[in-house]
Amino acid sequence: MVQSPIDLSPTQMQAWMGRLIERARRFGERGDVPVCAIVLDQRGRCIGHGMNQRELNNDPLGHAELMAIRQACLLQDDWRLNDCTLLVTLEPCPMCAGALVQARVGQVIFAATDPKRGALGSTINLATHTSAHHRMSVIGGVRGEEAKVMLSGWFKQQRRRSVGTGEAPFQTDSTTC
Ligand SMILES: [Zn+2]
């Protein structure tokens, strides 16, 4: 029988997201766009965690959501995450939104929207797209403004650093990973 994901209260969502934004802020000092994701099981236990590590590992698939999904599937010994909730600090890109559907994640909660590449409503909605064989519930904008400010602060800092070192400026002006 397929169980449903945990029913988090608004306060619990805010608390989890606050922690993720803080972790992402600290991790951003390593050079990758600061995006952090976790997967909670049906009882609210964290069973997967990921940070965007594309630059660190030279891995175009190294997005926070994919790492968290992989870890959760390994731990559950199951690729189906119907009873799980993924929380992430930025609206997932098309690759990650597709993976969330493939993994049959029950619920997705994100903070900042990504007007340029977000694929859960901003540019396209892969959760409701005709190609989606799985329906997941999506809640966006939890601590959205706070996550947006954290990301834009990181991009400003990267631009300042590249001016200081004479290196080419960071190649995106978006808040995306
Ligand atoms: Zn992604």
Over residues 100-109, the mean pLDDT reads 97
pLDDT reported for residue 134: 86
Tell me the three state secondary structure of residue 1.
coil
pLDDT reported for residue 177: 44
- How much is the pTM? 0.90
- Residue pointed to by tokens 């600090």: 89
Banded model confidence at residue 81, pLDDT cuts 50, 70, 90? very high
Ligand 1 mean position, distance from CA 93 (Å): 4
Given a cut of 90, whether residue 123 has pLDDT beyond it is: yes
The rounded distance, in Å, linking the Cα atoms of 5 and 85 is: 6
Given a cut of 90, whether residue 161 has pLDDT beyond it is: no
The rounded distance, in Å, linking the Cα atoms of 70 and 55 is: 19
Q: Which 8-state DSSP code applies to residue 156?
A: H
Tell me the three state secondary structure of residue 138.
strand
Ligand 1 mean position, distance from CA 98 (Å): 9
**Residues carrying an active site annotation:** 65
